[in-house]
Amino acid sequence: MKAMVWTRYGPPEVLQLREVETPVPKDNEVRVKIHATTVTAGDCEVRGLKLPLWLRLPMRAYAGLIRPVRLTILGQEFAGEVESLGKEVTRFAVGDQVHGAPGFSLGCYAEYICIPETGGNTVLAPKPSNMSYEEAAAVPFGAMEALYFLKQAHIRSGERVLVNGAGGSIGTFGVQLAKFYGAQVTAVDSAAKLDMLRSIGADLVIDFAREDFTKGAENFDVIFDVIGKSPYAASLGALRPNGRYVLANPRPSHLLRRRFSTDAGGRKFITGATVRRTEDLLFLNELIEAGKLKTVIDRTYSLEQMVMAHRYVESGQKQGNLIVTI
């Protein structure tokens, strides 16, 4: 099969299109013919090891010290068609249209992937009937990340929620999910993304280059920082009593400040590693089929254009999701 192979740590050009062995499903696995996958900022960070030191060393230990060995194909989410089954599989049949995420094993930049029907940090579910493969490919990572953190925030109807870094994969789903929970949503990102954020339901938008949300007159019940760039103390100060400060990508400074500080007014700091569950993906599918959640697609590339796709994501211009068709 064709796959975009991660040959070493470095710039987008380290990704090379090659012929590799087609995977064979184990007894509890399905083999999916992938029709679409995505490129996220996280994919680019992993490819070039542009990670904080406390994550870079474990990543090298896991993937390979000198070059990627254990992980050679990137890609965190996919949509496609079940092509073959292991003998113990009961939930799926050949020909089923599905989408999912392989967890730590990655592997979606390829024509085929094998994935357990249940278990571990992997998820696999039927594709929403009203979504294309391209639209469905972005749900198992971006939407599930947003859902995981916003569920911990326990948003109540009428609360004010701010999403920082709202214009990307996780943020666009975060805006829509906060609206589903009944919140009044303020979305923060670059000026070029503000019209798109209004179109998916943001009540207010802020251009981060022109306005610091922590210095405004408004306070919030929940601040959901997707990108981890909000200042810790100032963000807590922008919360109402009993507010929740939710970070999807905390920096070490955030964690240190939290460890050695005491929050007044019952304010909470929420972070952690996402736990993916099939029932959450099925819940998102229900919202999608009810018309309450959609995928924002900026551009679509082919597998052969993966290097170009990575360059574009690293430019910071991506609005919503970048899709790769296979």
Residue spans of the domains in the chain: they are 2-138+295-325, 142-270
pTM over 0.85, yes/no: yes
**CA-angle at 113, arms to 108 and 118, nearest 5°:** 105
Q: What is the per-residue pLDDT for 251?
A: 58
Q: What is the per-residue pLDDT for 248?
A: 87
What fold does the segment set 142-270 form as a domain? Rossmann fold (3.40.50)
- Same fold? 2-138+295-325, 142-270: no
Distance (Å, whole) CA 224 – CA 189:
13
Distance (Å, whole) CA 230 – CA 228:
6
Q: What is the per-residue pLDDT for 261?
A: 47
Handedness of CA 315, 138, 151, 161 (dihedral sign): positive
Strand blocks (E) in the chain: 2-6, 15-19, 29-39, 78-85, 97-101, 112-116, 123-126, 160-164, 184-189, 204-207, 220-225, 239-247, 268-270, 297-302, 321-325
pLDDT along the chain (326 residues), means of 10: 97 98 97 98 93 80 89 97 97 98 95 93 96 98 96 97 97 98 98 98 97 91 92 90 88 51 70 88 98 98 98 96 98
Helix (H, G, I), strand (E, B) or coil at 57: helix
Residue 180: half-sphere exposure toward Cβ, Cα within 13 Å: 21
Distance (Å, whole) CA 303 – CA 4:
7
Q: What is the per-residue pLDDT for 30?
A: 98
Alpha-carbon distances of 136 from 113, 163, 168, 298, rounded to whole Å? 16, 23, 16, 14
Q: What is the per-residue pLDDT for 255?
A: 52
Q: What is the CATH number of domain 2-138+295-325?
A: 3.90.180.10
Q: What is the per-residue pLDDT for 266?
A: 81
